[in-house]
Chains A and B, each alone.
Chain A
Amino acid sequence: GAVVSQHPSRVICKSGTSVKIECRSLDFQATTMFWYRQFPKQSLMLMATSNEGSKATYEQGVEKDKFLINHASLTLSTLTVTSAHPEDSSFYICSARNPEGHTEAFFGQGTRLTVV
């Protein structure tokens, strides 16, 4: 089946620094990728939809200047958490769907971000 790879799986950073998370689709071209955040014991919260070659679409309440998304190729999307603060600590997950059919979403392994 299709595989989505996300890196890093865990990262600890200092307050005020920036962290980049990569999401790659390994065996299909993903024109669209999705970025989610998940706090403990809560469901997935869609942050933004990443579109190849164009600007990302952000959900209401998500700061586009804080969560920078770049989708420069058909297999790579990146999420950069800028000027991270402890409240940004969360589990970030990307997903992609094969554009050939609107079937299941494949998820990356997730990134556990801890801001100290």
Chain B
Amino acid sequence: GQNIDQPTEMTATEGAIVQINCTYQTSGFNGLFWYQQHAGEAPTFLSYNVLDGLEEKGRFSSFLSRSKGYSYLLLKELQMKDSASYLCAFQDSNYQLIWGAGTKLIIKP
């Protein structure tokens, strides 16, 4: 079967670093996405990993290990505006997106 899991909620301090983990199980895999969603708004694309390794994009980085079925999103120099939900989703063999439940990130001053 297919499943995807990420923590429900995390709290971090402004200026710090936080890592949001995502684990998944699937027989067919065509990449993993991370999206940011502010309350009441639609998700916005952050990153896409299809090969193992770390992709860095400014303050945000995303890592993938296909053999472990594991990804993480790393946010550096946290700002208050980073308070949002972060959704991971993998693309299965039919290129359909399977979504995690989202991790609500709370940033404290």
Contacts and interface: CB of A to CB of B under 8 A. Distances in A.
A112 B42 contact: no
Contacts of A35: none
Contacts of A42: 101
Contact of A103 (B44, B48, B87, B104): B48
A98 interface: no
Given A44-B87, A102-B30, A102-B95, A108 B101 contact: no
Q: Which of under 10, 10 to 19, 20 to 34, or 35 or more describes the interface residues of A? A: 10 to 19
Interface in B23-60: 30-31, 33, 40-45, 48
21 contacts: A41-B104, A42-B101, A44-B99, A46-B99, A93-B42, A93-B43, A102-B30, A102-B91, A103-B48, A104-B45, A105-B33, A105-B45, A106-B45, A107-B43, A107-B44, A108-B42, A109-B41, A109-B42, A110-B41, A110-B42, A112-B40
Given A102-B91, A104-B33, 9 more contacts: A43-B100, A46-B99, A102-B30, A103-B48, A104-B48, A105-B33, A107-B42, A108-B42, A112-B40
Contact of B101 (A34, A43, A110): A43
Interface of B: 30-31, 33, 40-45, 48, 87, 91, 95, 97, 99-102, 104
A112 B40 CA distance: 8
Interface in A12-51: 34, 41-44, 46
A105 B97 contact: yes
Nearest to A45: B99
B32 to A, nearest CB: 11
A42 B102 CA distance: 8
